[in-house]
Amino acid sequence: MAITDDVLVIGGGLAGATAALAAAETAPDARVRLVTAKQSTLRHASGLIDVLGYAPDSEGQGQEQEQGQGQTPIVDPFAELDTLPTGHPYERVGGEAVRDALEFFDDIAGDAYAGGHTDKNALVPTHGGTVKPTARYPTATADGLASDDRDALLVGFETLPDFEAPLAAAHLEAAGAPFDARGVTLSFPGIVRDDAKVTRYAHLLDRNEQVAAAGEDEIGAREALAAAVESHLEGEPRVGFPAIVGDDRPAAVRESLADALGVDIFEVPMGPPSLPGLRLEDLLYAALEDAGVRMTSGVPVVDYETGNDAIDHVVVDRNGAEIPHEAAQYVLATGGLVGKGIESGRERVSEPLFDCHVPHASDRYDWFVDDVFGEQPYARFGLAPDRELRPLDANDDPEFRNLRAAGAVLGGYDYAAEKSGAGVSLATGYVAGTRAGEESE
């Protein structure tokens, strides 16, 4: 027997979660299901919601500031949306939809995120000492914005080599940050292994576990950390830590450290695995549960059947058993080349699930350019949709009338160079889910 829903979203990242939430809001009586084959890629993300950081067709687009040759970050991303080329995902959905999607995200995120007060990008320092233009950012990073002219002390830890605080501080200075930054590297109280997971640091602070402090009996981890940092302060009014400052209770941990040190505390987003990404995942999946979205994880979609120019049902593999899932509307949000939603072989580039058309040059030597910093054609590979986000075939006709696509599976943009990945996932997920919800009724 087939499992029947009104809307079926395939993919559990930011685009898929947003699409499922938008469908559920648009059609409250609809049965909405999210199916994902593996853990969400959100745990590998920075947790920042970028809309558009750099213009997509300027020389040197998206290069990091410390290289001294990157273009100036975009101040107001919304002022640039109308200039994007035909086929860019933002051009497909329109600027108003981008705004609507951000407002939708703001309602979900509540006070966990900041940035909704302005159209301008914020400049958020990252773990390498670069700054990233972004539209929404975790509240935990708010006191670390590069536009803030207050001096900052960056604190790294010997067992956490992914964040070299002195190097990050030097890079910020070289990038022209309007404040003095210093970096120090300390021992993290209670952790001696360099293979400890980032969640171990966070949970130790969440629970304020007892740890051995220098020359003292055991004390709470928060107090021990504050004591270790205090002797290194030279009047800086704010202190930045790698993004490990609590998981279940990050606000309480920051408040404790701020009170003990008499400074503002902020987090610097890290590479994967990313606690801000994990927090965003928790936030979205809690919202999905509250919205009544049914979730099926660990089950890849392996086949599908069609009828009357539409997808009739898909087949998922559940521990070797093939289970049909049918729905009125489908949203494909399986990721791009990195997420395996788009695959590249020696002869062709393809979308592996529905074999939707992926525009690309027939000669694979035209898929890239020799300049490592050049505009790489393969970075824009993905599905070409209509304005309803239905993937188009080679003749510019919809592949299936009840399928939409969202997120990195779409082509026509370079999310890494533009710093637009999360924004595109959010905007296209919102539009695809809304349309799917409307047509499911």
Shared domain check, 16 and 67: yes
Considering the chain, what percentage of its residues have pLDDT values greater than 70? Answer: 95
Q: Is the peptide bond prior to 77 cis by the omega test (within 30 degrees of 0)?
A: no
Average predicted confidence (pLDDT) for the chain: 91
Regarding beta strands 32-36 and 294-297, do their DSSP bridges make them parallel or antiparallel, or are they unpaired? parallel
| DSSP-derived 3-state class of residue 7 | strand
- Does a structural domain hold residue 360? yes
235-247 pLDDT, tens digit per residue, is 999 999 999 999 9
For residue 109, pLDDT beyond 90: yes
Rounded CA separation 349/333 (Å): 17
Residues 6+ apart with CB under 8 A from 323: 2, 3, 299, 315, 316, 317
In contact, 163 and 183? CB cutoff 8 Å:
no
> Band of the pLDDT at 393, cuts 50, 70, 90?
very high
| DSSP-derived 3-state class of residue 276 | helix
pLDDT at residue number 61 = 41
Task: Report the Cα–Cα distance between both ends of the chain, in Å, rounded.
Answer: 23
- Does a structural domain hold residue 422? yes
For residue 421, pLDDT beyond 70: yes
Show which of 249, 268, 287 is a domain's final residue.
Answer: 268
124-168 pLDDT, tens digit per residue, is 998 888 899 999 999 999 999 999 999 999 999 999 988 999 999
Query: Which has the minimum average pLDDT: 64-78, 112-126, 253-267?
Result: 64-78
- Does a structural domain hold residue 290? yes
pLDDT at residue number 57 = 60
For residue 202, pLDDT beyond 90: yes
DSSP assigned state of 85? P
Question: What is the H or E stretch that residue 202 is in?
Answer: helix 198-206
pLDDT at residue number 214 = 63
Rounded CA separation 156/224 (Å): 15
For residue 9, pLDDT beyond 60: yes
- Going by C-alpha positions, the residue among 186, 182, 185, 267 that lies closest to residue 233 is 182
pLDDT at residue number 370 = 77
Beta bridge pairs of residue 403: 330
Rounded CA separation 24/294 (Å): 10
79-89 pLDDT, tens digit per residue, is 999 999 999 99
Q: Which long-range contacts (CB under 8 A, 24 or more apart) does 108-117 make?
A: 108/21, 108/283, 108/284, 108/287, 109/136, 109/283, 111/139, 112/138, 112/139, 112/279, 112/283, 113/49, 113/137, 113/138, 113/139, 114/138, 114/139, 114/142, 115/49
- Does a structural domain hold residue 26? yes
> Tokens 């610097």 — which residue?
268
> Band of the pLDDT at 413, cuts 50, 70, 90?
very high
In Å, what is the CA distance from 416 to each residue of 290, 310, 344, 422? 32, 33, 18, 10
Query: Rounded to the nearest 5°, which phi and psi values hold at 380?
Result: -105, 5
Shared domain check, 283 and 242: no
Show which of 245, 268, 291 is a domain's final residue.
Answer: 268
Query: Rounded to the nearest 5°, which phi and psi values hold at 14?
Result: -60, -45
CATH number, domain of 374, equals: 3.50.50.60
Shared domain check, 259 and 156: yes
- Does a structural domain hold residue 132? no
Q: What order of strands is seen across the sheet that includes strand 152-157?
A: 181-186, 152-157, 238-242, 264-268
In Å, what is the CA distance from 246 to each residue of 49, 152, 213? 20, 20, 19
Shared domain check, 300 and 259: no
Shared domain check, 426 and 297: yes
Shared domain check, 230 and 294: no
In contact, 333 and 424? CB cutoff 8 Å:
no
| DSSP-derived 3-state class of residue 411 | coil
- Does a structural domain hold residue 134? no
Structure tokens at 379: 């970075």
Shared domain check, 422 and 342: yes
Shared domain check, 177 and 102: no
187-199 pLDDT, tens digit per residue, is 999 998 887 888 9
Shared domain check, 372 and 264: no
- Residue with the bigger pLDDT between 227 and 373: it is 227
Shared domain check, 364 and 290: yes
Give the count of domains, the chain: 2
Rounded CA separation 44/281 (Å): 10
pLDDT at residue number 58 = 45
Rounded CA separation 350/356 (Å): 7
- Does a structural domain hold residue 368? yes
pLDDT at residue number 70 = 53
DSSP assigned state of 196? -
Show which of 268, 303, 320 is a domain's final residue.
Answer: 268
59-74 pLDDT, tens digit per residue, is 434 444 333 345 789 9
Rounded CA separation 325/353 (Å): 14
DSSP assignment of 232-243 equals T-SS-SEEEEES
CATH number, domain of 186, equals: 3.40.50
Shared domain check, 197 and 91: no
- Does a structural domain hold residue 121? no
Name the residue range of residue 179's domain. Answer: 140-268
17-69 pLDDT, tens digit per residue, is 999 999 999 999 999 999 999 877 788 888 999 999 998 864 434 444 333 34
H helix intervals, 207-307? 221-230, 250-261, 275-290
Regarding beta strands 210-212 and 181-186, do their DSSP bridges make them parallel or antiparallel, or are they unpaired? unpaired
Rounded CA separation 114/116 (Å): 6
DSSP assignment of 106-174 equals HHHHGGGEE-TT-SSPEEEE-TTS-EEEESBEEGGGGGG-TT--S-EEEEEETT-TT--HHHHHHHHHH
Shared domain check, 72 and 31: yes
In contact, 300 and 316? CB cutoff 8 Å:
yes
